[in-house]
Amino acid sequence: MKKLSMTELGRLSVEDFRKLRKIPVVLVLDNVRSLHNVGSAFRTADAFACEKIYLTGITGSPPHREIHKTALGATESVDWEYVVQPAEAVRRLKDAGYRIVVVEQTTQSEPLHKFAPGPDEKVAVVFGNEINGVSEEVMALADAAVEIPQAGTKHSLNISVCVGIVCWELFKRQR
């Protein structure tokens, strides 16, 4: 066994990535504090060919050194937009035909592995603040809630891990 070199990996250029057919998934970061988590979301959105990221509220936006540190250039390949009010971004997506799915533990959340969007269904996945979760204004607009089943003593995951798991599940279903 031999590790592959960067050349052997055959990665797309930013230009070719922009032309690539994306999965119909948009990420919404609702008041995410950590710039490292923001950068990680960009890198994950690039890895799984998500359509776009909406950065909302207090969520930091590029260009920023701390975002760049974890994004590793994905801020250049992934489309993104900053919207001041999280609920405004979600309303726009809802009006554009996206199913609004919050990643949150609720009385009606379903386990992520049981969530089954249609083959070409447009989904906007909302990830909330590291302390307070998804804002109440956005919760009121949600069509569904999913959670990642966990077996340990903690009841949450770091948002960067959560974004990776959710995007991977949606990517598997859309490809």
What pLDDT score was predicted for residue 173? 87
User: In this structure, is residue 11 part of a structural domain?
Assistant: no
Structural domain including 134 reads 21-174
Q: In this structure, are strands 110-111 and 123-127 parallel, antiparallel, or unpaired?
A: unpaired
CATH number at residue 148: 3.40.1280.10
pLDDT truncated to tens, each residue of the chain (175 aa)? 999 998 899 899 999 999 999 999 999 999 999 999 999 999 999 999 999 999 999 999 999 999 999 999 999 999 999 999 999 999 999 999 999 999 999 999 999 999 999 888 999 999 999 999 999 999 999 999 999 999 999 989 999 999 999 999 999 988 7
Tokens representing 51? Answer: 């359509």
47: tokens are: 């890895």
Residue 8 placed within a domain? no
57, part of any domain:
yes
pTM: 0.96
Are the C-beta atoms of residues 25 and 167 closer than 8 Å to each other? yes
Has residue 123 been placed in a domain? Answer: yes
Q: Angle of helix 35-47 relative to helix 159-174, nearest 10 degrees?
A: 10
Say how many domains are in the chain: 1
Number of Cβ within a 10 Å radius of residue 131: 8
Whole-number pLDDT of residue 4? 94
